[in-house]
Amino acid sequence: MVAKEKVAAWIAQDPEPRDVAALEGLLEQLENGGDQASAAQVELDDAFAGELRFGTAGLRGKLGAGPNRMNRAVVIRAAAGLCAYLKEKVGPDFEIVIGYDARYGSKQFAEDTAAVAVAAGGRAKLFPRSLPTPVTAYALKYLGADAAVMVTASHNPPQDNGYKVYLGGRAISGSGQGAQIVPPADAEIYAQIQAAAPANEVPLAESGWEMIEEDLWEGYIAQGISLATPGSKDLKIVLTSMHGVGGETCLRVLNGAGFKDIHVVNEQQEPNPDFPTVAFPNPEEPGAMDLALELAASVGADLVLANDPDADRCSAAIADVQNPGKYRQLAGDEIGALLGWQAAEFWSENAQQREADGLNMFGPGTTGTLACSIVSSRLLSQIAQSHQMNFQATLTGFKWISRTENLVFGYEEAIGFCVDPQHVRDKDGITACVRLASLAQELKREGRTLQDVLDDLAREHGLYLTSPLSIRVENLALIQEGLKNLKERGVESLAGSKVVEFADLSTGYRGLPGTDGFLILTEAQDRVIVRPSGTEPKLKCYLEVILPVDQDADLTQVRQEAQSRLAQMKVEIRQVLGI
């Protein structure tokens, strides 16, 4: 139970009057007792349960007052810590780029960051309006700045916001140039945050930051257009931005690439921080793409594309060959396989010519790399091997995937795809849309579909089928309880196959740093990875089965068998977790 003195101390240094009033109101409810007192105590206990720290995707949490919330006090001290870190790293003339989405508080948090940076002696460049996360990542590389901040909670619920930090310029070199922070930078920045003055004592400049010109946004659009394959375009596309900030930018890029037959989901096209048409603004969540799928059925679309609210993710749906008139949403691993295969085909076809022309971006004789997180499908490794490319498995999160050496393409199963790492060292849902639409268009000219490519990959490498099991909790302690149960009980078999490997990932795994979670592998090569989510109150299980496929096999039947195995594994894993 949080002490009233601790709340009072926070109130004394909070620069936002509305947050001060909210905390004072909760304290008053405690004093008055009655029915509201217990609710006020629960709210205060959660708001002061700890401090927001950099996780899988930076700082992220519920909007509200207190150290365990996203608010001006937390953001101002975070900005002060970042600026102190940059001063040590590159000197007092550090430069920072700042972007923001259309969520509640985002613009204010971005302006506070600019004000802190200028007051600290640095140079701040602020976007004039809300734009997609990949535009900020692009700006960092394009402008050669030392760091970038993106204020966004991506696909989280409306009541959340967040704070992503990237390093570039003089702050970091090598493959981490332009990527989100990883250890030890995150801990070093956090230490500077801890050492920062109380929020109301951090100097804030009233002006002095530079507004980024529209030319930079236009440059991002032009680069996205350049990723499309040439030729006429007659692909019919349905597009939704999920009430986020990607609608205008994605439409501009697709149109510029030649895709003119685009039907937007009007109800979701304009930014709206309440996300009124969806229960949860994540294209992966059941029901989130219903409006897009209904529109696709009415217009007979070839492809459905969806961005999440900050447009760094891309989901897609295609015609369901088993149910005429219906559409099937592709899994993140299926999109990853398609885009990975596309990237590998292009790399292999042009490898000799690049070497002859001296245009190998990684240096003479260097092979490109395909990468994905350890929880993503192992199919990408087979695609890389068949195209004589390197493959790298990384820890979960694009801060790890995007810093892979000689990266050509990287992805994570949570619909994050990096198709242009030379310009955006992060996942980018807009350029992923362009590349996926281009592949669908090329196949349409040949009388083929994206499903045909997935079938081809299954026949060549075997059927790799994945499925998630996510357990959302109200009490975060249940996540550790589930992991403890798994470790103590162990798993002897899954879907009738003996477990041959049970790895505690916290001690490191096959050259990867330690991370919270467990990996289970069976004789049949079925695999389960269990880990806590880095962005949401969930315990996440990533299941994959691999089935051999004969050339004349009925793939529908093979997929049904794989689905049955996955369903059985989910039941067994849930029983072991016991939550």
Catalytically active residues are 154
In order, the DSSP letters of 211-237 are: EPPHHHHHHHHHHHHHTSPSS-----E
Do the bridges between strand 237-240 and strand 160-167 make them parallel or antiparallel, or are there none, so unpaired? unpaired
Question: Which tokens is 553 given?
Answer: 């096999």
- φ/ψ (deg, to 5) at 77: -70, -35
Task: Please tell me whether the peptide bond between 184 and the residue prior to it is cis, using omega within 30 degrees of 0.
Answer: yes
CA distances for 50 relative to 55, 66, 68, 103, 537, angstroms: 14, 9, 5, 23, 15
CA 177 to chain centre: 18
Backbone angles phi, psi at 85, to 5 degrees: -65, -45
Side chain identity at residue 469, one-letter code: L
The alpha carbon of residue 515 and the mean position of all alpha carbons in its chain are separated, in whole angstroms, by 18
d(CA 206, CA 197): 19
Q: Reading across the β-sheet that carries 237-240, which strands appear in turn?
A: 262-264, 237-240, 303-307, 314-319, 327-329
Query: Token pair for residue 499?
Result: 């477990």
How many C-beta atoms lie closer than 10 Å to residue 460's C-beta?
13
Euclidean distance between CA atoms 123 and 94, whole angstroms: 6
- Find out whether 505 and 518 touch, Cβ atoms under 8 Å: yes
